[in-house]
Amino acid sequence: MKKSFFAVCLFFLSSALFCQAQVTPLKFNKNGEFKIVQFTDVHFKYGNPASDAALSRIKEVVDAEHPDLVIFTGDVIYGAPADTAMRTVLECVSSRKIPFVVTFGNHDNEQGKTRAELYDLIRSVPYNIQPDRGSADSPDYILPLKSSDGKKIEALLYCLDSHSYSKLPDVKGYDWLTFNQVNWYRQQSAAYTKLNGGRPLPALAFFHIPLPEYNQATADANAILRGTRMEKVCSPELNSGMFTAMKEAGDVMAVFVGHDHNNDYSVMWKGILLAYGRYTGGNTEYNHLPNGGRVIVLKEGKRSFTTWIRLKGGVVVDKTVYPDSYVKDDWHKCPLVKE
């Protein structure tokens, strides 16, 4: 006899609450490492065979990397039904009992569900660790990473909603992080810095739409860039100052975004790494790079991390170390070796 729809829903909800309760605080492992996998722009269309490649890649990458956390940086779904599509994608991670979070892109809430409805749906999926949204449709939040012994906070992950499109009729293009968000970040960063004895904690930031500084960095011939750049940055036309706030606060080492499917590079700009994930979707949207995911491994007690792109069949490309891989060396100043 088939279970009733109500019974199935009740079972799923109770399972989700149980699994959220069972997720332990995020912390560095005994080797002093914490591994994140970033998936971006899955553009999943439920029932569309072209999306099978996205699900296959997500499963392959997490099975190969065994991350401590998965972060989806927007445009997860690209067709109705939104709830079924979102659950199908997230199940690839949830079924493996890996903690995960989602930051929205500009297309997620175009599939019949609002941001608030999607946020609540995502929170109901087992192993999601996003906080309750309160009165906000899609809140910004921080994921603290504990030390390997669990005694103190060693690093921070900022997860932000970069919104969708400009709300000003005379400004075209994409929306920007608001002044309220910039102030929220400044206050949170200052509070954690104070708790850490006045020393900024190593931090990373994740959201969907790139900051205007991505364009500045790629236009500078002296900026060190690793990876693939095959399109112009689609950032907001207006700059609300988030990058400046991060630079002044001194905690954020790198920003990771998506949005531009033909870019997967990372470029150093004023000491902060501006990076893309690798397009994860199938052929449901434009893309000229094989789909995959970005891997980030943080080092406990250090302002350093290693990152690479993992593709189909175990292929790993563009492995770099922050900050070493993005700093020009002075080999030409070394004295000549005499024979």
Q: How confident is the model at residue 8 (pLDDT cuts 50, 70, 90)?
A: very low
Question: For the residues 91-96, what does the mean pLDDT come to?
Answer: 98
Mean of pLDDT over the chain: 92
Is pLDDT at 10 greater than 70 in this prediction? Answer: no
Q: Is the pLDDT of residue 337 over 50?
A: no
Q: Return the amino acid letter for 138.
A: S
Which domains are delineated in the chain? Answer: 32-330 (3.60.21.10)
Question: Per-residue pLDDT averaged across 175-188, rounded?
Answer: 98
Q: Is the pLDDT of residue 7 over 80?
A: no
The pLDDT value given to residue 334: 53
Q: Please tell me the distance from the alpha carbon of residue 55 to that of residue 1, in angstroms, as a whole number.
A: 31
Asked whether the predicted pLDDT for residue 81 surpasses 60, the reply is yes
CA–CA distance, 159 with 204 (Å, rounded to integer): 9
Peptide bond into 81 cis (omega under 30): yes
With 0-12 CB in 10 A as exposed, 13-18 as middle and 19+ as buried, what is 219?
exposed
- Residue range 105-141, pLDDT digits in tens: 999 999 999 999 999 999 999 999 999 999 999 999 9
* Residues paired with residue 142 on neighbouring β-strands, in sequence order: 158
Largest Cα–Cα separation, the chain: 86
The sign of the dihedral angle between the CA atoms of 95, 98, 99, 100 is negative
What phi, psi does 191 have (nearest 5°)? -65, -45
The pLDDT tens digits of the residues spanning 230-271 come to 999 999 999 999 999 999 999 999 999 999 999 999 999 999
| Percentage of residues of the chain with pLDDT beyond 90 | 89
76-98: b or e for each residue (b if 16 or more CB lie within 10 Å)?
bbbbeebbebbbbbbebbbebeb
What is residue 328's predicted lDDT score, i.e. its pLDDT?
85
Q: What is the mean pLDDT of residues 149-174?
A: 97
Torsion 207-213-219-222 (CA) sign: negative
Roughly how many angstroms between the first and final C-alpha of the chain, as a whole number?
86
pLDDT band (50, 70, 90) for residue 312: very high
**DSSP label of 329:** -
Rounded to an integer, the average pLDDT of 270-297 is 97
pLDDT band at 330 (very low <50, low <70, confident <90, very high): low
